[in-house]
Amino acid sequence: MAKKSARDRMSNEVNAGSMADIAFLLLIFFLVTTTIAEDKGILAKLPPWSEDEPDITKLKKRNVYSVLVNADDQLLVRGELTSIENLKDDTKVFINNPDDRPDMAEAPTKAIVSLKHDRGTKYNTYLNVYNELQAAYSELRNDLAERKYGKLYEYCDREQRKTIRNAIPLIISEAEPSSFGEEN
Amino acid sequence: MAKFARKRGKDSPAISTASLPDIIFMLLFFFMVVTVMRDATIMVDVVTPKATELDKLEKKSLVNYIYVGKPKEKYQTKAGTNARMQLGDKFATLSDIPLFLEKHRTKINEGQRGGIKTSLRVDEDVTMGIVSDIKTALRKAGQLLINYSAKPKTE
């Protein structure tokens, strides 16, 4: 009888009071090891590889917007030295050509941005330039989407996006880099 | 009114902490799901540039990474101080790229292979020479979707 009462006194429940502590410990471990996916970047599509050089003589000069970045990270746009702050607006004007100027693109579909850099150009500069060019295009697309559908490009559905993409195709052609500058 | 006053006068019961573990577990599971364990130790210093036109990289399994930057100090005796490329967990040369891509490709089922992206995590101080060599190698290997990794620009 005494034995039985002893067993009765033993609680047959596990103490769950420390459960929270254990969970906290694990939680803190995961908090520390987590790197919340900050994987963002500029998407780009490379052209397929072909052995022969592309023929650019067929292009009309007015449709080509040449951007050169040299090894000293200077910017030459259509033969003129400019700074990166002006690049986006100038590109937009070139593609859209609101005043129908004879030295700018005939239509947004025909505009080609040609980007050339040096092997000694800093990656940071290159990406900034690329970013500005892409920004010019996305602003133009947003403008068109706003006018046509009354909403931003990213909120358009698939069909609407396609229409806009066809109206303002993103054409950035990259030439083989020159090799004047020093590499690291 | 007296009734209410009397009630308030009594000691309020202690808040039950019985559900605390559950709440903590919920948080725990959230972090467990969100966590991506780094599979490769990064041996080069990479500070990605800042940009505004950012896209999110979705479907992590469809992404392979190429790191480019200066080797970290402890690897400099072996790898030198010039910018190097890291594939997986070792330093590599351009000729290693096709095999690296192929290895990644075989892990992905056929229907999704068109969506494979290469994320270029390049340090901002690297010169473009090595980057354009890598891009040429990627083009030759038929890997055309790339993503220049960058941080959002805060004004």
Instruction: Judge whether B19 lies within some domain.
Output: no
Q: Return left, alpha or beta for A142; rule: phi > 0 is left, psi -120 to 50 is alpha, else beta.
A: alpha
Q: How many CB atoms lie within 10 A of CB A8?
A: 9
Cβ of residue B51 closer than 8 Å to a chain A Cβ = yes
Give residues with Cβ within 8 angstroms of A53, minimum separation 6.
none
Range of the domain at B66: 44-152
Q: What is the pLDDT of residues A68-126, one digit of tens each?
A: 888 888 888 888 888 888 888 888 888 888 888 888 888 888 888 888 888 888 888 88
Closest-CA distance of chain A to residue B89, Å: 19
Measured between beta carbons, the chain A residues lying within 8 angstroms of B146 are 43-46
Give the Å distances, CA to CA, from B103 to A13, B42, B64, B67, B99. Answer: 52, 19, 10, 17, 6
Q: Which residues pair with B66 in a beta bridge?
A: B87, B120
Instruction: Judge whether B73 lies within some domain.
Output: yes
Q: Return left, alpha or beta for A79; rule: phi > 0 is left, psi -120 to 50 is alpha, else beta.
A: left
Instruction: Judge whether B77 lies within some domain.
Output: yes
Q: Return left, alpha or beta for A73; rule: phi > 0 is left, psi -120 to 50 is alpha, else beta.
A: left
- What pLDDT was estimated at residue B78? 81
- Count up the domains in chain B and report the number: 1
- What pLDDT was estimated at residue B107? 87
Measured between beta carbons, the chain A residues lying within 8 angstroms of B131 are 123, 126
How would DSSP label each residue in B77-111?
Answer: HHH-SS-EEEETTEEE-GGGHHHHHHHHHHTS-GG
Q: Does residue B53 register a pLDDT over 70? A: yes
Instruction: Judge whether B91 lies within some domain.
Output: yes
Q: Which residues pair with A66 in a beta bridge?
A: A114
Instruction: Judge whether B10 lies within some domain.
Output: no
CATH number for the domain harbouring residue B126: 3.30.420.270
Q: Does residue A6 register a pLDDT over 60? A: no
Instruction: Judge whether B16 lies within some domain.
Output: no
**Per this entry, what is the length of chain B?**
155
Measured between beta carbons, the chain A residues lying within 8 angstroms of B128 are 117-123, 126, 177
d(CA A28, CA A30): 5
Using an 8 Å Cβ cutoff, are A41 and B148 in contact?
yes
Question: What percent of chain B clears pLDDT 70, i.e. is strictly above it?
Answer: 90
- Determine which of A16-20, A52-56, B21-25 has the lowest per-residue pLDDT on average: A52-56
Residue A87 DSSP SS3? helix
d(CA B131, CA B97): 13
| Among A8-12, A44-48, B4-8, B16-20, the range of highest mean pLDDT | A44-48
